[in-house]
Amino acid sequence: TQLEGDRRQNLVDELLTRHKQLEASYRNEGPEPDMTRSSLMAGGVKRGITNPWLLEESEETRGLGFDELRQQQRRIIEEQDAGLDALSSIISRQKQMGQEIGNELDEQNEIIDDLTNLVENTDDRLRTQTRHVKMVDKKSTSCG
């Protein structure tokens, strides 16, 4: 429809204008770069159309230049790297502890297996001796 065509043409015009503003801002041309940057980052309604791509700039980045933002990002990344290094060392230590626990369990299982064998041998000898005692008892009662 004609209305849809006009709406789409308006959107294309707005995108072209925004593109030109961004290029001018990048080359530091046109109005003050900080002013252009603020207007680009500010959300709002133009001609009754809400643009979902525009977000409110946070307080910690408001007023910062490109270099300052890059430095802030580097600092945040360095902090995250330090946190990841600490987490990595903790996980490595837990892995080592798990392996040591596994080795200790293997040794304890071997000891338990040895004890089981000794108990079974002792049990067999006790049964044999108990049979001998019963036999001697039976013979002693029949003799006397």
At 53-78, the pLDDT tens digits run: 556 667 777 777 778 888 888 999 99
- The enclosing H or E element of 50 equals strand 49-50
Residue 39 banded pLDDT, cuts 50, 70, 90: low
Q: What is the token pair recorded at 21?
A: 């503003």
Q: What DSSP state is assigned to residue 31? A: S
Tell me the whole-structure pTM to 2 decimals. 0.44
H helices of the chain, in order, are: 2-26, 33-41, 66-143
Around 86, how many Cα atoms within 13 Å sit in the side-chain half-sphere? 6
